[in-house]
Chains A and B, each alone.
Chain A
Amino acid sequence: MNALAKTLTGLRDVDEVQGSFLLSADGTLLARDLPAVFHAELFADVGPRLARLLDSFDARNGASTIAMRFTDHKLHVRSVGAKLLCVLSGAAVNGPALRMAMNLVARHIESEPAQTDAGAGTLSRDPSTSTSSAGPSSTSRASTSSGSRGFEPSAGPWETR
């Protein structure tokens, strides 16, 4: 488990969190902490789509968050520098707790860009799968822009009280 993937596991402290993954600015998978059912090939489409979606909100100033509410699940996306931190959860996740957990993880990710590159592509939960889409060029791109946008310390959508 690389340092990044290990960092992601901290998100599981929050009830209902089912896993998380980190994408580069162009949507390339950098690290993941997900059940095996989410095979790496999935992210070849999902990653760039999420990156484009975030871009569509024109987030040049400060961080961005997206929360997608599905019938029984939520997908939370937060920009961390030029990267995208994504968390899968149940619909009943504790919003404030998750925001705090994502803040902490984001802080770690931003403070350790070098380790991000070194560990790109390593899986945390399912060693049998690979992150083939996480190529060196994309991780390099991600690291060079890391930290340029910061992250939001406060509210995200879908607050649960």
Chain B
Amino acid sequence: MKDHPGSSAGSTNEEGFSANLTGASLPDLVQMECLGNSTVVVRVVSGDDEGYLYFHAGQIVHAMTQSALGETAALEILDWNRGSFEPCRAGWPSEFTITKPWQALVMSAAAARDEARRKVVDFPRERANGTATTPRPPKPITSSSRPPAHRSSLSPPPASTPPQSGMAPSGAGIERAVRLGADGRVVSTRGDADELAAMTAYALRVSALVGDELGMGDLRAVESISGGVRRLFYAEPDGKLVGLEARAEVDLGALREKLGL
């Protein structure tokens, strides 16, 4: 690294005000530097994490953390929720590593954060032909393959399914999970979920039939407690079916809330 010729990084003796802001978000501070066409290196500290953002003429041109460089590091830093943000005298890199406009970086970080909040269950084992998707609010389940006489209507997922910020990682306590395609093919699993896969498909199908017969409307989800095991079944907006299994004492309230159930 070398010192940047035109850098004012760390020039704490220059004219101007210093400020101690509380409650500002990191994107807000980044925006302030960028809109001010700043050329500065900023040290960001969040708990044990530390990173540097390099602003040049109002653009983020470089970033680094303890484990990453460039755009990856910038996104990592922008994902931090709290900490400090202060100019520093860090050396400049020999070449810039980020070319993406700062607005795009901030947007990417926000999108990644939203996605993480929506994520309900991790499926570490994706099947070869499957596609991993991020769970979204459940879709009403209809038995579309049934004869016309048993037709069921679709209704949109609930409008208000806000992502829950600051909540504990959802999916905690879930021991097994499975995601099925509309055709019953296993897309992804967590734990040994072969039996759960069959149970998921069957429970949602039979429940939809029961609901149709009783005129209950569209099925949103099924939850059961049996033999000390709690199970939750629902369909994602793209039609994939999800089955989760946990011990009966595990509270799935946060998960239900996240799913808008």
Binding site for B on A (CB under 8 A): 37-38, 42, 45-46, 49-50, 52-54, 56-62, 64-73, 75, 88, 152, 155-159, 161
Contacts and interface: CB of A to CB of B under 8 A. Distances in A.
B217 A69 contact: no
Contacts of B171: none
Contacts of A70: 211, 216-220
Nearest to A73: B216
A59 B223 contact: no
A68 B227 contact: no
Contacts of B202: 53, 56
Interface string B240-257: 000000001000110010
Interface string B205-248: 01101110111111111111111111110000000000000001
17 contacts: A37-B215, A45-B213, A49-B210, A53-B206, A56-B206, A57-B229, A61-B228, A62-B226, A64-B224, A65-B226, A68-B221, A69-B219, A71-B220, A72-B217, A88-B216, A157-B232, A159-B253
Contacts of B226: 54, 57-59, 62, 64-65
A68 B222 contact: yes
Contacts of A58: 226-227
A45 B256 CA distance: 29
Contacts of A65: 224-226
Contacts of B216: 68, 70-73, 75, 88
A71 B199 contact: no
B155 interface: yes
Nearest to A156: B225
A121 B207 CA distance: 24
A66 B223 CA distance: 6
B140 interface: yes
A68 B199 CA distance: 15
Contacts of B209: 45, 49
B213 A69 contact: no
Contact of A152 (B199, B207, B225, B253): B225
A38 B256 CA distance: 30
A75 B210 CA distance: 9
Nearest to B261: A69
Given A45-B213, A46-B214, A88-B214, A53 B207 contact: yes
Interchain residue pairs A-B with the least CB separation, the first 5: A157-B223, A64-B226, A57-B226, A71-B217, A59-B226
Contacts of A64: 224-227
Nearest to A161: B253
Given A59-B226, A88-B214, 8 more contacts: A42-B214, A52-B206, A54-B226, A56-B206, A57-B199, A62-B228, A66-B224, A70-B217
A71 to B, nearest CB: 4
Given A42-B213, A157-B230, A159-B253, A69 B206 contact: no
A146 B227 CA distance: 18
A25 to B, nearest CB: 15
Contact of A69 (B215, B221, B225): B221
A69 B214 contact: no
A75 B209 CA distance: 13
